[in-house]
Chains A and B, each alone.
Chain A
Amino acid sequence: MDTESTHSGYSYHSSRSGRSNRHGDRNRERHKASSSKDSSRSERSVVINPPDTPSQDSPVHNGEPLPGEPTPALDHGDEAQDDNWGETTTAVTGTSELSISQEEVVGLGKEIQDRTQGFRRYLPLAVGSCVGLLVLATPLVFLLLPAVMWPDRLQTCGAACEGLFLSISFKLLILLVAVWALFLRPGRACLPRVCVYRAFLTTLTLLLTMSYWLFYGVRILDAEDEDYHGIVQFAVSLVDSQLFVHYLAVVLLELRHLQPCYSVCVIRSTDGETRHYNIGQLSIQKAALSILEYYYRDFPLHNPSLLSASKHRAAKHLAGLKVYNVDAPGNTAGAQPSNGNQSRAMVTAAAKRKDSAHNELYYEEADYERRVRKRRARLVVAVEEAFTHVRRMKKEDERATPSDIMDVREAALAIFPSMARALQKYLRTTRRQHCHSMESIQKHLAFCLVNNMSPKAFLEAYLAPGPTLQYGPERWMADQWTLVSEASVTSGIKEGTEFLLRCLDFNLAVTIKGIPYIRLTEEYIDPKSHKFLLLLQSETSV
């Protein structure tokens, strides 16, 4: 236990439930069997496992048991081996057990689900390339078929046709690049429904091509037209129309999004973090996608262990109120008033207890602030002192003994232990110790040393929670988002649209307002009209 905990009821319970989070977290992440926990628990040694790269199929879920639930005693062993890397000796052991736990089976199920998702991911690409091939091949076929089918009766045309051939080839090249740029790029997300505009554009393209084929078949193939110049012009007109359809696609798919029309307010449900963005005209699912991209950039990492204190308070408040069911069968009408009196007494007693709850909250928060500041001061001093021990090698140091010269990784490892304890205590106080592993801290330290950063620059990553993408992929949960909306998700966003983006343990509530119509008037000021008077009140002594 930390010596710093003051054993007020709340902090003890909240830190305990926080530890149980990390238990679930660590278990799933590392697939460890229980035997390694038992062996290390007795020795208090740290097991350093190579950082595995958990893929999307085993996401980390900081699930939160309700406070008050009995947490298993195994927690202590688990946390000892995970978080005391600043205080205890290190011993590297191998992890060879391949026993499968409950969580792994769940992870397997998710893996299967992801493989089907992979099929959906490549469907638009497949459709796009088919349509693109059709679009590109059609004019060429139009040109080649007469030359193949009735070459002897074909009228040769001179320079005009050659000019048209050149223009067809360049336009087809541009169309190829443009179609690739707009439709054949790998999608960056998997949306619940098909994009309406893409479907519309695909249909339009196919319609256009089919009608051209129809005309070609009837007028040219059946009639065996001999005017090759006319056929070439027909093919050129098809390519032109396809280019215009592509222009329409650019406007519909790309340009409409850029002009900001709506102001979006995004609120995280658990801690109330709010951000505002301006977006253009999009469908609800596309708007949700761009909001999620902003979420990963702007919102600080979601930390469920910071919310346990308020949940504990709420639970305590509810525990004081007992609700009786006065309509239970067997209760006569005469018993009702007494039950009502009883519950009213309960409510007033709970209200009296509520009077001291704000007092407790105030002192607890003041105490927490003080503790965090004290830890932070110790941390800053420790880091500054650690940074003074290492210096970049200069020319005159080349004569130093080779044992003193280290590369950046060794230098980081050398100065890390002096600040490790202070850093770990600070992270524990601010309940962010599960976000940073020892390897990530050493890596960051090496990065700062290479780039000649000051100790303050190194510390900034740990003093405040950064955006979600800064941490490892196990925190992203990028495949766990659900869009909950009353309107159809392919309809466009309007003023007053509201929807919810649900992740595992928190929601993002999104409300949309329109940007107001701004009326700007002008006023002309003649530059010669800027004239000034000097108003002084000087006092001269004579």
Chain B
Amino acid sequence: MSFVPGQPVTAVVQRIEIQKLRQGNNLILGFSIGGGIDQDPGQNPFSEDKTDKGIYVTRITPGGPADVAGLMMGDKIMQVNGWDMTMVTHDKARKRLTKKNEDVVRLLVTRKSLEEAVKQSMGGFPRP
């Protein structure tokens, strides 16, 4: 999922809607993120391209809202509620996900298996 500067980024994404869970005074989503444009992309274990500075899901609490909604570890988050997450700092990403006045976050995530699935499904049919 590397990008060429100046060209639009295309990816196969899955839409995931997570309901925030209220725990005491906090609304939690049940997963952890890593990455960002101010972070070191070489240490990201989930990215294929080690220069990719996007936001990745690094951990999912089993049984939490994200797990229930179908989010998987290693997913790259492309949008949150319409806001772009491919070129944000780590702190900005955190803030976009943890807005107190939102109960629901709608994520667009991409993963390698999605690309594979689309390729397989497209390659299996002869093109008209």
Contacts and interface: CB of A to CB of B under 8 A. Distances in A.
Interface of A: 534-542
8 contacts: A536-B38, A537-B35, A538-B90, A539-B33, A539-B58, A541-B31, A542-B29, A542-B94
Contacts of A542: 28-29, 31-33, 94, 97-98
A533 to B, nearest CB: 9
A534 B58 CA distance: 21
Contacts of A534: 38
A539 B40 contact: no
A541 B39 contact: no
A540 B88 CA distance: 14
A490 to B, nearest CB: 69
A539 B34 contact: yes
Interface in B50-71: 58-59
Nearest to A534: B38
Contacts of B97: 542
A178 B35 CA distance: 78
Contacts, number: 39
Interface of B: 28-29, 31-35, 38-40, 43-44, 58-59, 90, 94, 97-98
Contacts of A535: 39-40, 43
A540 B32 contact: yes
Nearest to A536: B39
B32 A539 contact: yes
A540 B59 contact: no
B71 to A, nearest CB: 11
B59 A537 contact: no
B43 A537 contact: yes
B33 A540 contact: yes
Contacts of A540: 32-34, 90, 94
A537 B31 contact: no
A541 B40 CA distance: 18
Contacts of B90: 538, 540
Closest 3 CB pairs of A and B: A535-B40, A537-B43, A541-B32
Contacts of A537: 34-35, 39-40, 43-44
Contacts of A536: 38-40
A536 B37 CA distance: 11
A538 to B, nearest CB: 6
A535 B36 CA distance: 11
A538 B29 CA distance: 18
A30 B120 CA distance: 106
